């Protein structure tokens, strides 16, 4: 009886029309929608970034592993941007911490925004931080990595995609 109830409960979102934007992004499928305004004032739309490898990093300005990783992202971004790498850092902090998130990203010269201010977000708002998604040049989601990553993780995830196109 309990199993039937849980199965029925899990089906409710689809039945009442909760948008697919809350679905879990699937690896080897087209990347979910992601659009909004960066702290710089520029608008972005992941769908229009085809032809580039895009690393979407969900992080918190209060997360010690995220603080370590932001420096790695800056290094990788600077080193490989000319090869077609883009980074979008998405702060999952509350909107009251917007200035803190913006200040952190400015220090590291990374483009970013707040999850709560995105105009489209098919990735979902909350992840354990840090969580990174890698989208290939064709707009296909190739990887999701949760937790602190080393430079090796990023090189193994990104370099083959940069070199394949």
Would you say residue 68 lies in a domain? yes
Q: Report CA 123 to chain centroid distance, whole Å.
A: 7
Would you say residue 139 lies in a domain? yes
pLDDT tens by residue, 65-118: 888 899 999 999 999 999 999 999 999 999 999 999 999 999 999 999 999 999
The crossing angle, in degrees rounded to 10, of helices 64-80 and 98-107 is 40
Number of domains in the chain: 1
Q: Which of 104, 84, 89 is nearest to 160 (CA)?
A: 84
pTM for the predicted model, two decimal places: 0.84
pLDDT tens by residue, 106-118: 999 999 999 999 9
- CATH number for the domain spanning 87: value is 3.40.30.10
For residue 119, say if its preceding peptide bond is cis, omega within 30 degrees of 0: no
Residue pair 105/111 in contact by the 8 Å Cβ criterion: yes
Would you say residue 74 lies in a domain? yes
- Boundaries of domain holding 113: 30-163
């Amino acid at each position: 009886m309990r199993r039937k109830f849980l199965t029925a409960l899990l089906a409710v979102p689809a039945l009442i029309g909760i948008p697919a934007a809350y679905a879990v992004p699937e690896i080897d499928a087209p990347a979910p929608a992601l659009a909004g305004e960066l702290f710089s004032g520029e608008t972005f739309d992941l769908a229009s970034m085809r032809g580039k490898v895009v690393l979407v990093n969900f992080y918190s300005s209060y997360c010690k592993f995220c603080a370590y990783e932001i420096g790695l992202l800056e290094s990788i971004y600077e080193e490989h941007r000319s090869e077609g790498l883009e980074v979008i850092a998405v702060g999952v902090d509350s909107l009251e911490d917007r200035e803190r998130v913006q200040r952190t990203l400015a220090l590291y010269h990374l483009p970013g925004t707040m999850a709560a201010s995105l105009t489209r977000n098919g990735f979902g708002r909350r992840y354990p931080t840090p969580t990174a998604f890698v989208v290939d040049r064709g707009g296909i989601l190739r990887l999701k990595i949760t937790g602190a990553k080393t430079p090796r993780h990023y090189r193994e995830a990104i370099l083959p995609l940069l070199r394949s196109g």
